[in-house]
Amino acid sequence: MASTAHSRPSASRVDDDFVGVIYGDVGSTAFRCSVVGSVERHEFVQVRHDTCGTVLGRVEEVERKTDLSLERAQHVGDGEPVEVEEKVSAQVSVVGYRDDRGLLQFPRTPFRAGEPVKRADVHTIRKVLGLEEDKKHGAYIGLLAGHDVPVYLDINTMVQKHVSIIAKTGGGKSYAAGVLIEELMKHHVTTVILDPHGEYASLSERGKVAHGAERFRVEPRSYPDAIQVYSPDTKVNSGAKPLKFTLSNLDARDILSLTGSAKVRTHLTALRKALDLLRQATKAYTIRDIVRVLEREEDPQNATLIDDLEYLSEVEIFAQEGTRIDELVVKGKTTIINLKGVPPDIQELVVNRLATAMFELRKVGKIPPLMVVVEEAHNFCPQVGQVASSKIFRTLASEGRKFGLGLVIITQRAAKVDKNVLSQCNTQVILKVTNPNDLKAIVASVEGLTTAMAEEIQRLPIGVAIVTGGGVQMPLLVEIRPRETKHGGESVKVIED
Ligand SMILES: Nc1ncnc2c1ncn2[C@@H]1O[C@H](COP(=O)(O)OP(=O)(O)O)[C@@H](O)[C@H]1O
Ligand SMILES: [Mg+2]
């Protein structure tokens, strides 16, 4: 193999960070550079500009140009010795620089050919990308891919402007959500996790030392004191405290919202009347009692209402003394609502009731500001069709921020989540996605996502995310840090290793 054609400028001869030299026709937003050192796609480089000083760039593509023709390649195939001359070059796009006032700027004149290009130093990356190490307000989610630069997401921004975590199944959503929740626990942020598969209780267990963990400076630890688990089904989830609702605390409208009835207006009066009657007699009435009163009316209009109520009475989510929301939402604690084993429609009812109650109590300041994590969000706020919890999630997405109630929306089907909800998520953690409709939905909802980055989403390795928002100025590739706690979402293997 022949060596590359150019000689390195003497000043950089001993410099490991030297990448190469700008050549060819040079622009102010992009340029090509020869590559003598090693550099990979997406790495950050820096180069001097006549008037702007040090400017940050990103390697978009690395190419190996060779003089091996098709004809000579066939000779190689025949086992003949063939000399190949090759030159590596990189396409770099300009990210910008910070001016005197600290604002992100782009040069308006081209760079000079012959200018040395170096791997960007930590200081320049931090400054230009605005990646300050803010341990007090920031959630450490991982390292900037290819660099030893930790990425922190601003927790206040996340609560105020919501978060989405998107990946295909097995793409690392729950793992990344676990990382984020660990950071929320570390910062004593009040959190409620709506957990349909019972994956998150393992947050209270210490994890193992992950492969390559030193690089991330992460040590296994657990958060047993920060976590409480509630479940409507304590037979399946024996470690959990029971989650029950007090029937006598619910008015007619609440009960109708629990049934997910589409005909609230039709049934409201009848149900109110039935409740008034019962309340004159006792506080300890049951759903069956309500049904009995309604049946006595013999009004055919009540038939669907009676059906809905009978279904509710079978699922045993009511108790004489239900769970208080202010017991569930405790300042600085993380509460897992384990819905494992609960039928999907009942999950929607429970989630609807909880989300509604949390929003109402948050509005009047009876519970602390909090983050609500929603796994399998496409089931609770679908784009097509209406489920019991559809409406409250729209309300939370658009109004939650005013009251300090942030959402973390987790889904494998971006296209199937209500766009009104997804579009309100300002911080996005996007892992590997391959479904074209989901990619479209992501591109539509992420500001500043370049076509090249959108392409990249399909090729992301497990554990690498494109992260935007949360105080981060442009979409960045981030290697999600290892977990401190045990990851609970492992897929079940048919054949053991
Ligand atoms: N950042 C990461 N570092 C190391 N392993 C990861 C990472 N993210 C995901 N994994 C691995 O990939 C598997 C699937 O991730 P998971 O988060 O459960 O996927 P899903 O998107 O379906 O929720 C995990 O069990 C874990 O072993
Ligand atoms: Mg998962």
- What digits encode the pLDDT tens for the residues 213-271? 889 999 999 998 999 999 999 988 999 999 998 888 888 887 887 776 777 788 999 99
Ligand 1 close to Cβ of residue 489 (< 6 A):
yes
Structural domains of the chain, with CATH: 10-129 (2.40.30), 138-243+323-480 (3.40.50.300), 250-309 (no CATH)
5 pLDDT above the threshold of 60: no
Burial track 181-199 (b if 16+ CB lie within 10 A, e otherwise): bbbbbbeebbbbbbbbebb
Q: Which ligand is nearest to the CA of 431?
A: 1
Question: What are all long-range contacts of 259-263, with beta carbons under 8 Å and residues at least 24 apart?
Answer: 259/305, 259/308, 259/309, 259/311, 259/312, 259/349, 259/388, 260/308, 260/345, 260/348, 260/349, 260/352, 260/387, 260/388, 261/304, 261/305, 261/308, 262/386, 263/304
- What digits encode the pLDDT tens for the residues 99-126? 999 999 999 999 999 999 999 999 999 9
- What digits encode the pLDDT tens for the residues 377-409? 999 999 999 888 999 999 999 999 899 999 999
169 CA closest ligand 1 atom index: 22
Q: Looking at ligand 1, which residue's alpha carbon is closest to its atom 22?
A: 170
Ligand 1 close to Cβ of residue 463 (< 6 A):
yes
Model pLDDT, residue 469: 86
What's the gap in Å between 169 CA and the centre of ligand 2? 7
Least confident residue range of 50-54, 138-142, 466-470: 466-470
Q: Looking at ligand 1, which residue's alpha carbon is closest to its atom 11?
A: 172
What's the gap in Å between 489 CA and the centre of ligand 2? 6
449 pLDDT above the threshold of 90: no
- What digits encode the pLDDT tens for the residues 276-301? 999 999 888 999 999 999 999 889 98
The answer to whether 445 and 468 are in contact (CB under 8 A) is no
Q: Looking at ligand 1, which residue's alpha carbon is closest to its atom 16?
A: 172
Model pLDDT, residue 311: 86
Look up the pTM and report it: 0.89
Ligand 1 close to Cβ of residue 360 (< 6 A):
no
